[in-house]
Amino acid sequence: PAPGVSLRLCSTGGAPGGINKPVIERIIRVDHAGEYGANRIYAGQMAVLGRSSVGPVIQQMWNQEKDHLKKFNDLMVAYRVRPTVLLPFWNVAGFVLGAGSALLGRKGAMACTVAVEESISDHYNSQIRTLVEEDPEKYKELLQIIKQFRDDEREHHDIGLEHDAE
Amino acid sequence: KMAAAAAGSLRRAGWRLWRGRAVLRCQLSVPQRALQASAVLRRVSDEQHKEPLASSSQQQFDSHPADQQPEQEPQGPRPSYTGQGGQESEDYESEEQLQHRILTAALEFVPEHGWTAEAIAEGAKTLGLSAASAGMFQNDGSELILHFVSQCNTKLTELLEQEQKQVQLGEAEKKPLDQFLRDAVEARLRMLIPYIEKWPQALSILLLPHNIPASLNLLTSMIDDIWHYAGDQSTDFNWYTRRAVLTGVYNTTELVMMQDSSPDFEDTWRFLENRVADAMNMGNTANQVQSTGEALVQGLMGAAVTVSN
């Protein structure tokens, strides 16, 4: 006879208590994948346009993305979140996208940056909304980080527009 | 009304005396735990009956058992559960908690009866319940095995947590990675030793399709725990590689242990040592392959440039 209540079996997890684990895990995993991909995009762009006049601009944006990635690496370890299994794919796809768009010239590279940063900041915005709906106090630190990153990405978007228009 | 209340109280008192006698007959388990179990079950059944009784007389009866044996936290790890919302109070035990206690008690009888409903029935009897409560569980013993695995994993995590604290306090040396992994896997596998005769049966049940999600979940979280306490902080594909490798080491060592008849399973631990050493070398081999690949590519590029000139 099938049991009325099925047993819940779980080994102990290690995250700070009281948080909505699945939501946080997904947020961190997706953001980590996003920053990783953005890193690879800029790497691809630098590989082609590194020595051109727009090189330093791309380099600076790339450095900021590296900081973002580092922050998410730290968060990933702290919350014991597993990285996405598609990382090798994002590795290649990001680089190809960056290099491909750069081969179209600096306008192509900037257009790519604008598009990518636009969708990233939309994505961060919806995450901020989710966290605020859940509990702004509990997730204060994470919210701060995501807000800061969203502002950085908007800045990249604006820089891209500036250089696209020139 | 008073007569009805008194009659109700007497009925419950008789019920408790009967429980008490039944418990005294069962010499197997710790009497205190069994009495506590029956006390808990009493309250569970009281709540179910919902007798509209004056609270004062109920408290009178409840105070007597409380004098005789003080309430203790049940032994063993408390399982996490979603809870029943507002119904929780100090003396209310959820069905899930009760099931966990029955299964824990049933483990004692596994060497004799295997992972079966008989073992669960025997376990239930030591808690002062009727053998029919084994009907709460599935017939193939799946829940008993999964409960045991979950319990072992929890024990392992507690052990690793303790060791980590000792290292942090400076009371112990930090182990090199291969020794850490060896010790963790050995500690976990040693928990199987009392049940080793019946463990092959358990393994085959864990591989049944309807058990695979649960058993896989338990396995992966155990491996993840071991790597976490080993200090793994990888955030790239290594995360997966390391866990896959350790899972392979654990599973093969477990199978070797089933066939091992050496004293204290020393053949198994030697096998484990070799497998962990292989795993360590795998990292080096991967690096070597990558270096060789890179060198090859450079050589080819050089050759291409030379030829094109």
pTM of the complete model:
0.73
Q: Does any domain span residue B79?
A: no
Closest CA to B100 of B116, B128, B122, B80: B80
What is the DSSP track for chain B? -HHHHHHHHHHHHHHHHHHHHHHHH--SS-HHHHHHHHHHHHHHHHHHHT----HHHHHHHHHHHHHHS---PPSSPPPP----GGG--TT---HHHHHHHHHHHHGGGHHHH-SSHHHHHHHHHHTT--GGGGGGS-TT-HHHHHHHHHHHHHHHHHHHHHHHHHHHTTSSPPPPHHHHHHHHHHHHHHTTGGGGGGHHHHHHHHTSGGGHHHHHHHHHHHHHHHHHHHT----STHHHHHHHHHHHHHHHHHHHHHH--SGGGHHHHHHHHHHHHHHHHHHHHHHHHHHHHHHHHHHHHHHHHHHH-
Of residues B8 and A41, which shows the higher confidence score? A41
- Looking at the fold, whether B105 and B200 belong to one and the same domain comes out as no
Q: Decide which of B139, B172, B205 is a domain's last residue.
A: B139
- Looking at the fold, whether B213 and B173 belong to one and the same domain comes out as yes
Q: For the packed helices A21-49 and A87-103, what is the interaxial angle rounded to 10 degrees?
A: 40
- Looking at the fold, whether B122 and B208 belong to one and the same domain comes out as no
Judge contact between B178 and B276, C-beta under 8 A. yes
CA distance A141 to A74: 13
Closest CA to B235 of A68, A147, A92, A145: A68
Q: Which residues of B touch A82 (CB under 8 A)?
A: 224, 239-240
Q: Does any domain span residue B306?
A: no
Q: Does any domain span residue B115?
A: yes
Q: Does any domain span residue B87?
A: no
Place of tokens 């009392």: B194
The predicted pLDDT at position B12 comes to 62
CA distance B228 to A31: 22
Shortest Cα–Cα distance, B172 to chain A (Å): 22
CA distance B65 to B69: 6
Closest CA to A14 of B228, B19, B21, B84: B228
The predicted pLDDT at position A60 comes to 93
User: Which three-class secondary structure state does DSSP give residue A75?
Assistant: helix
Q: Does any domain span residue B295?
A: no
- Looking at the fold, whether B254 and B124 belong to one and the same domain comes out as no
- Looking at the fold, whether B128 and B178 belong to one and the same domain comes out as no
| H/E stretch holding A60 | helix A55-79
Complex ipTM: 0.83
Residue type, B280: M
Contact B239 A14 (CB under 8 A): no
Segment B222-226 mean pLDDT: 97
Q: Which of A11, A14, A82 sits opposite B239 (nearest CB)?
A: A82
pLDDT band at B304 (very low <50, low <70, confident <90, very high): confident
Q: Which of B82, B139, B150 sits opposite A11 (nearest CB)?
A: B150
Closest CA to B34 of B125, B117, B131: B125
CA distance A97 to A100: 5
The predicted pLDDT at position B6 comes to 60
Contact B146 A7 (CB under 8 A): yes
Assess whether pLDDT exceeds 90 at residue B77.
no
Q: For the packed helices A106-134 and A87-103, what is the interaxial angle rounded to 10 degrees?
A: 140
Residue B162 belongs to domain spanning: 144-288
Judge contact between A134 and A20, C-beta under 8 A. yes
Q: For the packed helices B266-308 and B238-259, what is the interaxial angle rounded to 10 degrees?
A: 140
Size of interface A-B (CB pairs under 8 A): 74
- Looking at the fold, whether B240 and B193 belong to one and the same domain comes out as yes
- Looking at the fold, whether B174 and B111 belong to one and the same domain comes out as no
The lowest-confidence range among A114-123, B208-217, B249-258, B299-308 is B299-308
Residue type, A135: D
Q: Does any domain span residue B51?
A: no
Of residues B139 and B6, which shows the higher confidence score? B139
- Looking at the fold, whether B110 and B170 belong to one and the same domain comes out as no
Shortest Cα–Cα distance, A99 to chain B (Å): 20
Segment B157-169 mean pLDDT: 95
Q: Measured between CB atoms, does B136 come within 8 Å of chain A?
A: yes
Q: Which residues of B touch A85 (CB under 8 A)?
A: 240
- Best of A6, A11, A91, A92 to mutate (most B CBs within 10 Å, chain B): A11
Q: How far is CA A7 from the centre of its chain?
A: 37
CA distance B10 to B3: 10
**CATH no. for residue B273?**
1.10.357
pLDDT band at B298 (very low <50, low <70, confident <90, very high): confident
Q: Measured between CB atoms, does B135 come within 8 Å of chain A?
A: yes
- Looking at the fold, whether B155 and B272 belong to one and the same domain comes out as yes
Number of compact structural domains in chain B: 2
pLDDT band at A106 (very low <50, low <70, confident <90, very high): confident
Segment B42-47 mean pLDDT: 46
- Looking at the fold, whether B122 and B237 belong to one and the same domain comes out as no
Q: Which residues of A touch B136 (CB under 8 A)?
A: 3-4
Q: Which residues of B touch A73 (CB under 8 A)?
A: 235
- Domains belonging to chain A, first-starting first, are 21-163 (1.20.1260.140)
Q: Does any domain span residue B186?
A: yes
- Looking at the fold, whether B126 and B237 belong to one and the same domain comes out as no
Residue B129 neighbours by CB distance under 10 Å:
23
* A42-65 tens-digit pLDDT: 999 999 998 989 999 999 999 999
Residues of chain B above pLDDT 90, percent: 55
Q: Which residues of B touch A3 (CB under 8 A)?
A: 99, 136-138, 143
- Looking at the fold, whether B166 and B284 belong to one and the same domain comes out as yes
| H/E stretch holding A114 | helix A106-134
Contact A10 B143 (CB under 8 A): no
Judge contact between B152 and B188, C-beta under 8 A. yes
Q: Does any domain span residue B278?
A: yes
Q: Which residues of B touch A78 (CB under 8 A)?
A: none
